[in-house]
């Protein structure tokens, strides 16, 4: 296999890169932490009495049980120490849990606490479907702090290189030969659940060249459908400028 791979690479001009098996093993272990956390949050949403407020919120947003299962939507319990002790009990180290952005070290004394609390948890997956981060949506819009908290920059998750929903939408994008770009998770869910599954979200970040190039692998036809406010308008103009430089055919969806 190795000789055949090398021969084909030479014929097609592809540069082969050797993978450090130790580094790859560490990455796979971190991915397994994220997958287990996703399952934990999902079961908390489905089963915990404390998650009733989250279930009501999702129902009000038109997100039903089948959709919750498809996207493995979950809930972070309000306790400071819930997910972290569970992951530690499954033989993951505190350093690994912190490394993927699921826990924080206490300022005083020894110990760690959960980063996400009392939030609807939306798994963020890479193009291959592996969980690499989370978006946590607050259930109290009047509470201080941001409406959404995303996972921090980690060895797995780079916000500027990640396109939410692409793992699910890529086949529909190929079939339609076009992609609808929206800003947020809920925008994505609203369009995807309506039957237009050729949609992805920038997760609230300004569209980057890396995101454009990733989506361009599936279609060169972009339909911008960002928020119809001043910030959304500015984001659209910036995104259009970058997209045109990458040879993208651009359209704007006006609601």
Give the whole-number percent of the chain exceeding pLDDT 70. Answer: 97
Q: Is the pLDDT of residue 124 over 80?
A: yes
> Is the pLDDT at 151 greater than 90, yes or no?
yes
Question: What is the tens place of the pLDDT at every residue in 28-83?
Answer: 999 999 999 999 999 999 999 999 999 999 999 889 899 999 999 999 999 999 99
Instruction: Round to whole Å and give the CA distance between 12 and 146.
Output: 48
pLDDT at residue 194 above 70?
yes
What is the pTM (predicted TM-score) of this model? 0.88
d(CA 109, CA 172): 51
Torsion sign across C-alpha atoms 121, 134, 180, 126: negative
pLDDT given at position 204: 67
Highest mean pLDDT among 21-30, 53-62, 203-212: 53-62
Report the percent of the chain where pLDDT is more than 90.
74
Identify whether the C-beta of residue 204 lies closer than 8 Å to the C-beta of residue 188.
Answer: no
Query: In this predicted structure, what is the pLDDT of residue 231?
Result: 75
């Amino acid at each position: 296999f190795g000789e055949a791979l090398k021969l084909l690479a030479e014929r097609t001009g592809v540069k082969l890169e050797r993978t450090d098996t130790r580094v790859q093993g560490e990455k796979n272990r971190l991915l397994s932490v994220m997958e287990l956390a996703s399952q934990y949050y999902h079961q908390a949403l489905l089963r915990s009495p404390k998650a009733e407020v989250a279930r009501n919120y999702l129902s009000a947003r038109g997100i039903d049980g089948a959709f919750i299962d498809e996207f493995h939507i979950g809930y972070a319990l309000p306790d400071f120490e819930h997910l972290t002790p569970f992951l530690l009990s499954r033989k993951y180290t505190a350093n690994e849990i912190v490394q993927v952005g699921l826990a924080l070290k206490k300022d005083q004394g020894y110990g760690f606490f959960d980063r996400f609390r009392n939030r609807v948890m939306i798994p963020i997956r890479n193009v291959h479907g592996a969980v690499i981060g989370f978006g946590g949506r607050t259930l109290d819009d009047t509470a201080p702090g941001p409406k959404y908290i995303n996972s921090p920059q980690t060895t797995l998750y780079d916000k500027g290189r990640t396109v939410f929903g692409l793992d699910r939408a890529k086949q529909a994008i190929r079939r339609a030969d076009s992609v609808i770009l929206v800003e947020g998770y809920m925008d994505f869910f609203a369009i995807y659940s309506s039957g237009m599954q050729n949609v992805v979200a920038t997760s609230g970040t300004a569209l980057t060249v890396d995101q454009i190039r990733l989506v361009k692998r599936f279609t060169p036809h972009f339909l911008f459908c960002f928020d119809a406010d001043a910030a959304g308008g500015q984001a659209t103009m910036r995104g259009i400028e970058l997209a045109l430089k990458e040879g993208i055919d651009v359209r704007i969806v006006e609601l």
